[in-house]
Amino acid sequence: MSGMVEGKVVVVTGAGGGIGRDIALMMAKHGAQVVVNDIGASVSGEGNDAGPAQRVVDEIKAAGGKAVANTDSVSEPAAAQRIVETAVDTFGRIDVVVNNAGILRDRFFHKMSEPEWDAVIKVHLYGAYYVSRAAANHFKEQGSGAFVHMTSTSGLIGNFGQANYSAAKLGIAALSKSIALDMLRFNVRSNCIAPFAWSRMIGSIPTETDEEKARVERIKQMTPAKIAPIAVYLGSDAAKEVNGQIFAVRNNEIFLISQPRPVRSVHRSEGWTPETVAEHAMPALKSSFFALERSGDVFTWDPI
């Protein structure tokens, strides 16, 4: 076994299936020692089962790789600490964290309950923070490390029925940027991937229109394995100059995603009143307003 992450120790959360599984398998194929983390819950986060994580470990070992299973939840700080400790105790160090674990509890905003909001934010955003924070001191002390976080165009652009998920995923992009800025001095990198891939989580997206149904059919063409190569790259030393970026992967396409910057300004030397904002500022800015679009409105073409 040899490759781009030869000898590195990699934690992949939510690696019992889907995107996480394929990332774990490819990390191992390229020489990494992998902690396969998954609690084995349902898409909505209920239950637990050690089977999915162990099956991925068995696949890696059958192919000649090194891996260990972990079934701790990313949503609790002590459990997240144990995930990182599993890497250090088993393999002696930690080099890469892939924050992939997630759940869905989709609901249109006016119907969403507080438990539905809390559960999704807890796993995605708090989970990314807890696991990253647990690894941060190890990275600082060794003077190297890489974070790879899964964000989503549902957060970066928008989507129906996913206020909780979208807020968490946009928050993850901001978290990643903050980590990149804070830990650059320690030679630690942090980047995001917005994956387009069919998984059991996609099946819960509301599909009330023909357009939404067509979008899901397009997504079905895109396999989780397509996401793994860029994740392996971002965890490797080949990506040492790549930091604070957001990428999207859609089948065979890789996109660099823009980050918020001013697009137009207006100035009034005497300052603004509500009336002059209405009469002058908004008319001047309106031509540069962003359309109220969903991810599916932007990525309309068939997967390449």
**Which of 20, 25, 26, 63 has its CA nearest to residue 39?**
20
- Cβ partners under 8 Å of residue 5, min gap 6: 27, 30, 31, 32, 95, 96, 232, 235, 236
Q: Are 21 and 201 in contact (CB under 8 A)?
A: no
How many residues in total does the chain contain? 304
DSSP designation for 125: I
- Percent of the chain that is helix, strand, coil (3-state, to 5): 50, 15, 40
Q: Are 2 and 64 in contact (CB under 8 A)?
A: no
Q: How open is the CA angle 97-100-102, to the nearest 5 degrees?
A: 140
| Alpha-carbon distances of 99 from 20, 89, 149, 221, 270, rounded to whole Å | 9, 20, 5, 24, 49
Q: Which residue reads 């790789």 in tokens?
A: 65
126 is catalytic: no
Spatial strand order of the sheet with 145-150 comes to: 66-70, 33-37, 9-12, 96-99, 145-150, 188-196, 246-250, 253-256
**Which of 41, 10, 34, 62 has its CA nearest to residue 236?**
10
Helix (H, G, I), strand (E, B) or coil at 294: coil
Tell me the torsion sign for CA atoms 73, 81, 153, 17. negative
Q: Which of 126, 129, 130, 165 is catalytic?
A: 165
Any idea which residues carry the catalytic annotation?
165
